[in-house]
A and B are shown apart, each in its own frame.
Chain A
Amino acid sequence: MKIKRGLLAISVGTLLGGAIYLPLRLQAASEPPSHFVPPPGAGGVVVGLCDGETSIEVPWLKPGQRMTNEQARAVSNSLMSKWRERHPNAEWQMAQAGPNQAMAPAQAAPVQGGVYERLTPREQKIADIETAKFIEEGKEIFHDPGKLGGTIGVSCDMCHPDAANTHPETYPKYQTQLQRVALLRDMINWCIENPVKGKPLSPDDPRLRALEAYIISQRNGAALAYGKH
């Protein structure tokens, strides 16, 4: 459910913020859902089961302290016993994925795959717009020596119109000229450093992320073929 709240926040932000709402925020806002456990009552550590609702307190364990393997096994056995007491007729596998378990909505574990079927047309539209905007940002950088940080007037599109001949689907691959395995971002940075004569971008630089997005978008539908030369 937390994912849903994240998307809702984005949709409001998009409506209000318009063009200044950067796609990067999408990444930050949609954190993966997490479990909530009650605070410790006896000064120990509360340990939660991955169903998202069962928990027990280990009173002798202090925060930051490590359990031995045996102790950890004993704690997980206790957790499972508690779960079985509450669900005498259920199978554990079912409990992990089954929709019939009574779970408080706020604490529910994510139902794998379900989130996409539950997208409303409005959420789908937001997803499309935000993705397109991210790709468009990459396209601008791809075509602009200044935004790339280049120093000799060279931009990516001069050799790669429509990102042709970048084949993002072939990474990772052992790049013989570099004598190591390269990812697409390594090759982008190689080009930025060499023909473009700029400084390589850090892996989390929004420009590098946007460039990757644009390049991959231009090869939509190409079969993955990592390692291909």
Chain B
Amino acid sequence: MTPHSFQLVEVANAAVDKKWAQTGEKGNPPFTFAYISDTHLYTKALNERFVRGALKAVEDVNALDPQPDFVLFGGDLAQLGRADEMRLGAEILKEVKAPIKIMVGEHDWFLDMGETWQELFGPPSYSFDWKGVHVVTLMSVYEKDFWTARHMSPDERMHTVAGLDNGIQSRFEVGDAGREWLKNDLSKVSTDTPILIFSHSPLYKYYRPWNFWTEDADQVQEILKPYKTVTVIHGHTHQMLSNRIGNISFHGMLSTAWPWPYAPEGLPKLTIEMDRADPFDQFDACGNGRFNVAEGGLVDAVYNLWDRNPVTITYRYLASNGSEGRPPDPKSLSY
């Protein structure tokens, strides 16, 4: 057990290697940002377990030296979208020393359709430029109305969305308006500018029955196609998850609350699976992590798995389609 193994990580050589570094634009200073994701907080009175996970992640990112430029929060701050859950989350995130960039998840949204979340944190989609990289936080967990016809109360709607395997809810989507917004936002940047997209759901199709999926992912990828270097960083799947489609690299984030098993089919072939979780250890297969952004917006993902060795998924590994820089395979696969 090395609870602070995070600090011991040899910073994934940000500049990967010359060959790959040269593929991107030169002159952008490398930077690092950390993440905390999927805390799924209930109120403290009901459930301290998930609070412990969130606090542990805050402790981790605050211990980083040097400090990251910012900390991304990956969505699903609350478990059932309640105002008291989100306020608790906001309070915990206030303790993070670096600036926070926050993203919404479906658990934050479907009780009051985002009202409280937006009051606390602002619009769910926004963009900013950071050291030569254009960063977009994209709301990707809208769902088509499945509740009105079923006469569901907001609470029932929230509980339905909160379950992974119920088959009643709709699939996640960015939606027509969201895609228009994205197109418009990206129209202001050149196609040479490295793009970093934060979305809660993976912006590709992994496993439909569990909503490890974005219904209009193909259309979103089409919008991102003209850009030379694109990295999508998503929450929701609670596991080590890597993918590469065309010019786009994808990285899934770990949860601080619980790990999810790999879906029975659809796993992207570049994914290095994390070891099967030990249920006897609350923190096993959970964690947080960070991203090192090299020149040209080439991103390496560092998974800070609590109580295990960290794993780095390099840009080189994904861009070479797995032929270079493959991290060690897990010892015990899920089944």
Contact = CB atoms under 8 A, between A and B. Distances in A.
A159 B260 contact: yes
The B contact surface, by secondary structure, is: loop
Contacts of B279: 159, 190-191, 194-195
Contacts of B261: 159-161, 164-165
Nearest to B278: A177
A158 B42 contact: no
A98 B209 CA distance: 51
B49 A159 contact: no
Interface string A195-219: 1000000000000000000000000
Nearest to A163: B165
A152 B264 contact: no
B193 to A, nearest CB: 38
Given A157-B163, A195-B279, A162 B209 contact: yes
B334 A161 contact: no
A109 interface: no
A136 to B, nearest CB: 13
A154 interface: yes
Contacts of A190: 279
A191 B280 CA distance: 9
The A contact surface, by secondary structure, is: loop
Given A143-B163, A162-B209, A154 B47 contact: yes
B46 A152 contact: yes
Contacts of B263: 164
Contacts of A161: 164-165, 210, 260-261
Contacts of B280: 177, 194
Interface residues of B, number: 28
B334 A152 contact: no
B58 to A, nearest CB: 21
A165 B49 contact: no
B276 A165 contact: yes
B258 interface: yes
B217 to A, nearest CB: 20
Contacts of A160: 261
B128 interface: no
A15 B217 CA distance: 48
A153 interface: yes
A167 interface: yes
A157 B258 contact: no
A71 B296 CA distance: 95
Given A152-B47, A164-B264, A165-B276, A159 B259 contact: yes
A153 B80 CA distance: 10
Contacts of A165: 261, 276-277, 334-335
Interface in B142-185: 163-166
Nearest to A160: B261
Contacts of A153: 42, 46-47, 79-80
B47 A157 contact: no
Interface in A138-164: 143, 152-154, 157-162, 164
Interface of A: 143, 152-154, 157-162, 164-165, 167, 177, 190-191, 194-195, 229
Given A153-B47, A153-B79, A162-B264, 16 more contacts: A143-B166, A152-B46, A152-B48, A153-B80, A157-B164, A159-B260, A159-B277, A159-B279, A160-B261, A161-B260, A162-B210, A164-B264, A165-B334, A194-B280, A195-B49, A229-B332
29 contacts: A143-B163, A143-B166, A152-B49, A153-B46, A153-B47, A154-B49, A158-B258, A159-B258, A159-B259, A159-B260, A159-B261, A159-B277, A159-B279, A160-B261, A162-B165, A162-B264, A164-B261, A164-B263, A164-B264, A164-B334, A165-B276, A165-B277, A177-B280, A191-B279, A194-B279, A195-B49, A195-B279, A195-B282, A229-B332
